[in-house]
Amino acid sequence: MRLLVVGAGSTGGYIGGRLAQIGRDVTFLVRPARAEQLRRDGLRILSPLGDAAVEPHLVTAGTLESPFDAILLSVKGFQLDAALDDLRPAVGPETMILPVLNGMRHMETLARRFSPESLVGCALKIATVLDEEGRVAHLTPLQDLAYGELDGSTTRRIEALHELMQAGGFRPRLSREIRREMWEKWVLLAAIGAVTCLMRAPIGEIEAAPGGVAFALAVLDEAAAIVRAVGASPSEAFLSATRDQLKAKGSPLTSSMYRDLQKGRPVEVENIIGDLVRYAAERGIATPLLAAAYAHLTVYQNRIAGT
């Protein structure tokens, strides 16, 4: 199976790099500057589960010539439109598209641009960043990759995909409830993102502050209420585990938005927070804390963009 990884940042670099490490047929679609860096230094992974260094097979926009069996789409939400133009030649009638983006709006975009049948549900929970040298830094042992057909069926193509992914060393899961898992991931990202970005601190410091736990749990309740109204209801087991994460003493847990914010980079405020706030407004659901986080991060985003 030929796999195209769109983006060799921290997420695509990790998953694609692990598969390339064991000799799978993986190609990375990257920007020219990233291609130059990777050709010079190779794709390097630093991880508590073992480091790796591979010489990746790279292509850039305009050089794709034939469809791939599967495409792992691993770009930021604000990079999606440009990426879709670049990857179009790689999509054939049988191509599976696995988006590991945040939020859910991208599923509508992909279905309109290609076809609903090409989409495979995917939910990835992992903490990775690119360091100053362009290396993929895997921050914690967590690497939970789940995927499945959106209707919950077991098909020949999803079994072939599962066989490919199992060899990567990151214990992926074939899920028959991937749609619910995708909505749950959005709840998790929105809650942790809003809490850590508003408070400018990891969870442990927020928990130690007066009212910190109550604030964090209230944000979670807002996100869960919206998703119940517009998507797949989160399970009680998921909500219980997320509450525990949000009130864990001494926890260093932060969000990718918080880490980007600390480095002065653009954040996925529209995909992770903005879309939820808009869904809530359409249905008359009060979300004062998420709305505050949205306004706060929009001010930041506009400032770094110079607008």
Q: Which of 79, 81, 82, 68 is nearest to 16 (CA)?
A: 68
Bridge partner list, 123: 146
Q: Is 264 exposed, middle or buried (0-12, 13-18, 19+ CB in 10 A)?
A: exposed
CA distances from 301 to 77, 197, 252, 278, 307 (A): 14, 12, 24, 18, 9
Helix (H, G, I), strand (E, B) or coil at 6: strand
Predicted TM-score (pTM) of the model is 0.92
The DSSP result for 56-121, as a single string, is -EEE-TT---S--SEEEE---GGGHHHHHHHHGGG--TT-EEEE--SSSHHHHHHHHHS-GGGB-E
pLDDT tens per residue across all 307 residues of the chain: 999 999 999 999 999 999 999 999 999 999 999 999 999 999 999 999 999 999 999 999 989 989 999 999 999 889 999 999 999 999 999 999 999 999 999 999 999 999 999 999 999 988 899 999 999 999 988 889 999 999 999 999 999 999 999 866 677 999 999 999 999 999 999 999 999 999 999 999 999 999 999 999 999 999 999 999 999 999 999 999 999 999 999 999 999 999 999 999 999 999 999 999 999 999 999 999 999 999 999 999 999 988 6
Catalytic residue set: 185
Q: CB atoms < 10 A from the CB of 23, how many?
A: 9
Instruction: Please tell us whether the domain made up of 3-176 is placed in CATH 3.40.50.720.
Output: yes
Backbone phi, psi, residue 210, to 5°: -55, 125
Q: Are 258 and 193 in contact (CB under 8 A)?
A: yes
Beta bridge partners of 4: 27, 71
Alpha helical stretches, state H, the chain = 10-21, 32-41, 80-87, 105-113, 156-166, 178-199, 203-208, 212-230, 236-246, 256-262, 269, 275-282, 288-305
Pick from 96, 87, 84, 41: nearest CA to 60: 87
CATH superfamily of 181-305: N-(1-d-carboxylethyl)-l-norvaline Dehydrogenase; domain 2 (1.10.1040.10)
Please name the residues in contact with 160: beta carbons below 8 A apart, sequence gap of 6 or more.
1, 69
- Residue ranges per structural domain of the chain: 3-176, 181-305
